[in-house]
Amino acid sequence: MDIGFAAAAGMPLDVEAVGQLAFVGPVAVSPATEVDLSACRHLRFTGASDEVVVIGGGDEHFAVLVGLGDPITCAAEQIRKAAARFTREILGCMHVSIDLRGVAAFGPSAGATAQAVAEGVSLAAHRFNGYKSSSTQPTLERVTVVVDADDVVSTSDGLARGCIVARAVNLARDLANEPAGVLTPSRLADVASGLATEAGLQVQVLGEDEIRAERLGGLLGVARGSSEPPRLVKLVYEPGAVTPGAALAPTVALVGKGITFDSGGLSLKSADGMIAMKTDMSGGAVVIAVLSVCRELEIPVRVLGIVPMAENMPGGHATRPGDVVTIRNGKTIEVLNTDAEGRLVLADGLSLAVEEGADAIIDVATLTKDCIVALGREFAGLMGNDDGLVAQVTAASKRAGEETWHLPLPQQYKSHIASEIADMKNTGVAGEAGALTAGLLLSEFVGDTPWVHLDICGHTQLEKDYMHKGAAGFGVRTLVELLAQYPSRGDD
């Protein structure tokens, strides 16, 4: 159930808990809690960004003091985290309030602050409990955000936008959390098709015969070992009416890896290595989730979503190490490791995006564990062939609070994926630049089209301030932010 958010210029009388966000330094008396926060130093509350202090309780409503850190450097991400920390303290309450009147003079605008609050609360409160016999779903139903009277309208708008974005993130999380035996390629395609209808999108679903007819050899090669047939889903969002004489809106293509379970194929993973492999379709889930809210958010550009879907299994018909697959654009790949399957299905998806005439392409995939080795789990890897698009995606990720790190695509490493019998091979030199050579392989399928690759392997199972343990939906907020302001200079 979605949480209801409302902006108000006064404090409701029926709230069960009040959140007070406070910066480091002297703080005025809070009209919400009637607590002089500057007198709370005996509670060791300084307003630092990692501090939470609970005051009161029992039969009366209680207050939760949450630090925001330095007001000079406060950005939306600090507010998002603070709102999430507050939410963790009040789960079980039905109606709470958050007082932002002391925040308005600092940090982001009222609208951006409100959006961050709605996102932080919604993401922190969300749970995936569909398979529990006794549900522990939080009961939070309403949040009243208290602001100055002049900020009520912009706060209301920000809260509405934050709810939409958070719903998309939570959708991506739910899809990735579903057991692979339930969310098969055909089932994921059905879900995507249903969401597209609700969201007013064009949708096309290719079955196995159509995939073969379209010469999507990478997708077919990955799917060969599974009894579950592959699917490819195309989603198209068209922006609102164009002013006569105005230029057509650019097309941004989003390509998401949709491997609903990855056993490694004949290059079988270990038992432990398979445990989280239901989330190997996280990139596809992100693309589906973003497209599902484009119309509500009035995204100003045309958006094309392409999600190739398959299981990677070691059946009797599975692709063998040493086999060669032919991708949609005619290039061939020697498959030396069947566990490097994501780049094969993405190659087909990227080829289709180029054929569709996309002005820019961003792919999202749980592609390489090498990216975790290089960057850990706090940063997603970002590579691309166009400095302008790289800068735009990087800036969008910073605004969204999803950290990325720009990695190079050194042309001298192309020798790592040179094949003796095909145009390229799907793995490089063991232990050397694995994330980069994967990116170099993908770059062979985008031509001159501006393209960015996001490797989100480190963000499939993550627990953060505003995320319960499980799938994170990483990339939704970044792509929404990018699309909302595309094209932008990327120098924010």
Enumerate the active-site residues. Answer: 269, 343
Closest CA to 445 of 371, 368, 359, 345: 345
Asked if the peptide bond before residue 487 counts as cis, ω within 30 degrees of 0, the response is yes
Burial class (CB in 10 A: 0-12, 13-18, 19+), 246: exposed
Spatial contact of 266 and 338, defined as CB atoms under 8 Å apart: yes
Spatial contact of 234 and 306, defined as CB atoms under 8 Å apart: yes
Distance CA 309, CA 306 (A): 10
Strand, coil or helix: what is 59? coil
Residue 440, C-beta contacts closer than 8 angstroms, at least 6 positions apart = 409, 410, 411, 413, 414, 416, 417
What per-residue string of b and e applies to 405-436 under the rule 16 or more CB within 10 Å gives b?
Answer: bebebeeebbebbeeeebbbbbbbeeeebbbb
By DSSP bridging, strand 332-335 and strand 231-237 are unpaired
Taking the CA of residue 218 as centre, how many other CA atoms within 13 Å lie in the half-sphere pointing to its CB? 34
Encoding tokens for residue 273? Answer: 């290595």
| DSSP class per residue in 20-41 | EEEESS--PEETTTTEEGGGGG
